[in-house]
Amino acid sequence: MSGAQENTIEIYPKTQYLTASELVAQRHPEVESPRNGLKRTSFEGSAEENEELKNTYANLRLQLSARRIERQAGRAIAIWSDDQQAAEVVRKDGKFESFGYSQQGKLYLEYYEALFLLELNRLQLEYCGLIVSIEQAYVLLLGEEASEKYNNYFVYSALTRAGYIVVRHQEGYRTASSDVVTKDDCIWALLDASLSNKPVPLHIKVSQFYNATFERMVQLKQQIKNQCSEASTDEISINNEPNAFKFDTRKRRAQSEPEEELASKRASTTGRSLIDALKDEASYRKFQQTFEKLDIVRLQSEDYHCDVDSTIRTFKITFDLHLHNDGFRRSAPKTPTFSVIILQHDEPFPTHIEMLHCQRQQMRAEERAPLLVISVSESKHIQAFLYYIS
């Protein structure tokens, strides 16, 4: 942006809008992708070669000259909003099953969806009352700075044309799809928020249980810190003894220990052991009851040592891929077929541990899809690698 501001240039486009008769004539372009014969290995400058070159260029020009013409009532219309970085659909045309997202009763298109439909001549995008050109759309939607948006759009376009339903990556399908938010959902969302710094989703926040759960967790946290149970309503506290969790560190006699100490050795081996004796302690019973209330979850071995290493990079899952014949519904998406990670130019592929880390971001194991790692090369070739982690 810091380029010289004084160097303003007036641009008078060379191309004009088509005239009425040209519009009618070019409305249905019949462009076949040029079929060139075998490539040559050296330049010989023969007449035949020149002719071939001329034809090839003519075909390319024809292919690239295809216009985007449609009846005024024949396209969907959307309005681009700079603030929201999304296009609000104001007139639908055709099926929008796998495009856009709804928010407060309005349908919005993501930048890549809007640009894709625009380039396919299915959408008329408007900005400040003007119908935008493709060039303006690139400036508005993708921006002039080098950005991952370009690769995202490129990959989105290629995968969508290849027949996949491509949607922005979503987490927590089950909660998002079911309308009923339970107390458990609130607890999980809050845990997620405090442990992995994920924001609490909106649909959880508006739940009737949310505030109660939130306060309850703050209380519990306090109690765990203070190691005492002041609140009599506390489920964990069994009685109202204030010092119940304090250990008695003094040396003391077992209550069952008989008076004559000499005989005690034999007595202890035959009768009750010292450990058993301790089991009668009030504090022991309290711990036992407390632990019975806890769900002890065994961590998988892969869960260790992941978070400690600060050299691992975090990879973001950009898209989820669904198949067309899987009964995809925008309102209730199922587990995707693949999750897509897009590498930026020259970015090294993720290591095994980085893969695991990335997959673990998806909360529930059964919703983790195989990762499809896509790299876009400088010459705009897409290479995709599917990773299965065993």
Partner 1 sequence: MYLTLLNGTGYVFDVDDYMELRIKHRIVGALVGTANSKGWSSSEAALPVELTKCETQLLIDEGLAILVSKAASLMKSPTPEILQEYQEDFAARLKAQADSLKAEKLRETERHVEKILSGKRNKLLKQGKSDEAAALTSQSVIQEVANNFEFDHQNALVELPCPHLAKHTAQLWTEPICDRDSLKYRVFRDLWGRGKFVTCGDAFGADFLIYPGDPMLYHASHIVIIQSTPAIRPLELISKVRLSVIVNKSCVFAYEAADGKTIVYQTVAWCNPSK
* Binding residues for partner 1 restricted to 105-124, rule: CB under 8 A: 115-116, 118-121, 124
Residue 129 binds partner 1, judged by CB under 8 A: yes
Q: Which residues, numbered 338-377, are part of the site for partner 1 (CB under 8 A)?
A: 377
Residue 292 binds partner 1, judged by CB under 8 A: no
- Of residues 312 and 382, the one with the C-beta less far from partner 1: 382
DSSP state, residue 140: I
- Of residues 29 and 199, the one with the C-beta less far from partner 1: 29
Residue 273 binds partner 1, judged by CB under 8 A: no
Residue 249 binds partner 1, judged by CB under 8 A: no
Q: Which residues, numbered 153-182, are part of the site for partner 1 (CB under 8 A)?
A: 154, 157-158, 160-162
What is the strand order of the sheet 123-127 is part of?
Answer: 101-103, 106-109, 86-91, 76-81, 123-127, 130-131
Compute the Cα dihedral for 266, 267, 273, 277 and give only its sign.
negative
Q: Supply the minimum distance, in Å, between the C-beta of residue 44 and partner 1.
A: 9
Tell me how far apart the alpha carbons of residues 109 and 100 are, in angstroms, rounded to a whole number. Answer: 4
Residue 317: CB partners within 8 Å, gap ≥ 6? Answer: 169, 339, 340, 341, 358, 361, 362, 371
Total number of residues shown for the chain: 390
- Of residues 72 and 301, the one with the C-beta less far from partner 1: 72
| Count of residues engaged in binding partner 1, rule: CB under 8 A | 87
- Of residues 108 and 156, the one with the C-beta less far from partner 1: 156
Residue 373 host element (H or E): strand 371-376
- Of residues 260 and 378, the one with the C-beta less far from partner 1: 378
Residue 376 host element (H or E): strand 371-376
Instruction: Work out which of 39, 225, 250, 252 binds partner 1, going by CB under 8 A.
Output: 39
- Of residues 160 and 237, the one with the C-beta less far from partner 1: 160
Q: Supply the minimum distance, in Å, between the C-beta of residue 60 and partner 1.
A: 7
Residue 175: CB partners within 8 Å, gap ≥ 6? Answer: 181, 185, 189, 201, 203, 204
Q: Supply the minimum distance, in Å, between the C-beta of residue 356 and partner 1.
A: 28
Residue 147 binds partner 1, judged by CB under 8 A: yes
- Of the candidate spans 17-25, 93-101, 245-253, 315-323, the one that interacts with partner 1 by CB under 8 A turns out to be 17-25
**Which contacts of 138-145 are long-range, i.e. CB under 8 A and separated by 24 or more positions?**
140/80, 140/82, 141/80, 141/111, 141/112, 141/114, 141/115, 142/111, 142/115
Q: Which residues, numbered 66-85, are part of the site for partner 1 (CB under 8 A)?
A: 66-73, 75, 82
Tell me how far apart the alpha carbons of residues 38 and 207 are, in angstroms, rounded to a whole number. Answer: 65
Of 330, 324, 315, 327, the C-alpha closest to 168 is 330
- Can you give the three-state secondary structure of 112-134, one letter per residue? HHHHHHHHCCCEEEEECCEECCH
- Of the candidate spans 57-65, 89-97, 191-199, 219-227, the one that interacts with partner 1 by CB under 8 A turns out to be 57-65
317: number of Cβ within 10 Å = 22
- Of residues 143 and 242, the one with the C-beta less far from partner 1: 143
Residue 136 binds partner 1, judged by CB under 8 A: yes
Q: Supply the minimum distance, in Å, between the C-beta of residue 338 and partner 1.
A: 17
- Of residues 20 and 294, the one with the C-beta less far from partner 1: 20
Instruction: Work out which of 51, 60, 253, 276 binds partner 1, going by CB under 8 A.
Output: 60
Residue 378 binds partner 1, judged by CB under 8 A: yes
